[in-house]
Structure 1
Amino acid sequence: MLRAMILGAGAGGGFPQWNSAGPGCRRARAGDPAAPRRSQASLAVSADGERWLVVNAAPDLRQQIEATPALHPRVAPLRNSPISAVLLTGGEIDAIAGLLHLRERQPFRLYAAAPTRAVLDANPIFGCLNPDFVGRADLPLDAAFAPQDAGGAALGLSITAYVVPGKVPLYAETTGQPDVSEDGEALGLAISAGGAVLHYIPGCAMMTPALRNRLRGANCVIFDGTLFSDDEMISAGAGPKTGRRMGHMPITETLHEFASLGVRRRILTHLNNTNPALLADSPERATLEAAGWEVAEDGMEITP
Structure 2
Amino acid sequence: MKLKVLGSSAGGGFPQWNCNCRNCDGVRRGTVDAKRRTQSSIIVSTNGMDWLLVNASPDLLTQIAAYPELQPARRARDSGIAAVVTMDAQIDHVTGLLMLRERDTPLPLYVTDSVLQDLSTGFPVVSILGHYCGVERHGIPLDGSSFVIPAVSGISIEALPLSSKAPPYSPHREAPQRGDNIGLTFIDEASGKKAFYAPGLGALDPHVLEAMRGADLLLVDGTLWTQNEMIELGLSNKTGAEMGHLAQTGADGMIEVLDSIERAGVRKVLIHINNTNPILIEDGPERRILAEHGIEVAFDGMAFEL
Q: Is the structural similarity TM-score above 0.5?
A: yes
Please, which of 100, 118, 123 is the counterpart of residue 98 of structure 2?
100
Contact 1:223 1:267 in 2 (8 A): yes
Which amino acid is 1:230 matched to?
Q
The 3-state SS of whatever aligns with 1:34 is coil
Report the TM-score when normalising by structure 1. Answer: 0.91
Question: Residue in 2 aligned with 1:134?
Answer: 135
Which amino acid is 1:224 matched to?
D
1:7-32 per-position Cα deviation (integer Å, ceiling 9, x unaligned)? 00000001000000111001222345
The Cα shift of 1:67 comes to 0.5
Please, which of 167, 179, 185 is the counterpart of residue 190 of structure 1?
185
Superposed CA RMSD in Å reads 1.9
Report the TM-score when normalising by structure 2. Answer: 0.91
1:222-252 per-position Cα deviation (integer Å, ceiling 9, x unaligned)? 0011111111000111111111111111111
State the alpha-carbon separation in 1 of the partners of residues 275 and 222 from structure 2: 11
How many residue pairs get matched?
A: 295
The 3-state SS of whatever aligns with 1:157 is strand
Contact 1:9 1:298 in 2 (8 A): yes
The Cα shift of 1:116 comes to 0.8
Which amino acid is 2:179 matched to?
G
Question: Residue in 1 aligned with 2:227?
Answer: 230
Which amino acid is 2:267 matched to?
R
What stretches of structure 2 of length at least 5 have no aligned partner? Answer: none
Question: Residue in 2 aligned with 1:257?
Answer: 257
Contact 2:185 2:211 in 1 (8 A): no
Question: Residue in 2 aligned with 1:286?
Answer: 288
Question: Residue in 1 aligned with 2:276?
Answer: 274
State the alpha-carbon separation in 2 of the partners of residues 182 and 262 from structure 1: 32
Question: Residue in 1 aligned with 2:29?
Answer: 30
What stretches of structure 1 of length at least 5 have no aligned partner? Answer: none
Range that drifts further, 122-131 or 255-264: 122-131
Question: Residue in 2 aligned with 1:89?
Answer: 87
Contact 1:9 1:269 in 2 (8 A): yes
1:136-166 per-position Cα deviation (integer Å, ceiling 9, x unaligned)? 11112221111133xxxx5322111111221
State the alpha-carbon separation in 2 of the partners of residues 148 and 129 from structure 1: 22
The Cα shift of 1:257 comes to 1.7
The Cα shift of 1:182 comes to 7.1
Question: Residue in 1 aligned with 2:65?
Answer: 66
Distance 1:4 1:106, change over 3 A: farther
Contact 1:217 1:262 in 2 (8 A): no
State the alpha-carbon separation in 2 of the partners of residues 185 and 284 from structure 1: 32
Question: Residue in 2 aligned with 1:210?
Answer: 207
Range that drifts further, 264-273 or 131-140: 131-140
Range that drifts further, 101-110 or 11-20: 101-110
Contact 2:147 2:157 in 1 (8 A): yes
Range that drifts further, 268-277 or 235-244: 235-244
Question: Residue in 2 aligned with 1:302?
Answer: 304
